[in-house]
Amino acid sequence: MEKQSEERTEIAALRVLVIDDNLPYASGLAELLTLGGFETAYALTGEKGIETAYRMAADAVILDMNLPDINGFEVCRRLRRDPRTAHIAVLFHTTKGSVPGPRHEADGFLGFPIPMDQVHAMIRGCVEVRRLRYGR
């Protein structure tokens, strides 16, 4: 029982930002992550997402590849180049079968539909790898 409470505390500490231009999807995914114990926010454009990532000190970003202002690859690149956000785990989300090629800077890919427990595990795993890399 103690192990579950420790795991819950670890999850609760993680801040996840959803960047997607589809309002029902972005808000819905953020709500599901909140119900799973994460602190969440969402943004509907790449520029607003980058700004929100700074402001909320995000641990992870779930990022749509197709945004109305700048594409997800560019958002990821900007997050990676800025020392304030280089430590953030970035997971692209996409529909099954449309994973981008090898020249990307994301930590992982979520092919929806996917069970939420797998989403939680991917977030935690990618954040842990980034923390080990950046000593946070």
Q: Decide: residue 47, CB within 10 A, 0-12 exposed, 13-18 middle, 19+ buried.
A: middle
Instruction: Assign 11 a pLDDT band (cuts: 50, 70, 90).
Output: very low
Instruction: Assign 113 a pLDDT band (cuts: 50, 70, 90).
Output: confident
Q: Which domain holds residue 99?
A: 2-134
Model pLDDT, residue 97: 54
Helix (H) or strand (E) holding 33, with range, is helix 23-35
Give pLDDT tens digits for 69-105: 999 999 999 999 999 999 999 999 876 555 555 566 8
**How far apart are the C-alpha atoms of 131 and 134, rounded to whole Å?**
5
Q: Decide: residue 72, CB within 10 A, 0-12 exposed, 13-18 middle, 19+ buried.
A: buried
Q: Provide φ and ψ at 42, rounded to 5°.
A: -140, 155
**CATH number of the domain enclosing 17:** 3.40.50.2300
Angle formed by the axes of helices 46-56 and 72-81, nearest 10°: 30
Instruction: Assign 12 a pLDDT band (cuts: 50, 70, 90).
Output: very low
* Helix (H), strand (E), coil (C) string for 89-123: EEEEEEECCCCCCCCCCCCEEEEECCCHHHHHHHH
Bridge partner residues of 18 (DSSP): 42, 62
Q: Is the pLDDT of residue 9 over 60?
A: no
Number of structural domains found in the chain: 1
Model pLDDT, residue 100: 57
Q: Is the pLDDT of residue 7 over 50?
A: no
131, 89 Cβ separation under 8 angstroms: no
> Residue 80: which residues within 8 A CB-CB, separation 6 or more?
86, 90, 105
Model pLDDT, residue 102: 57
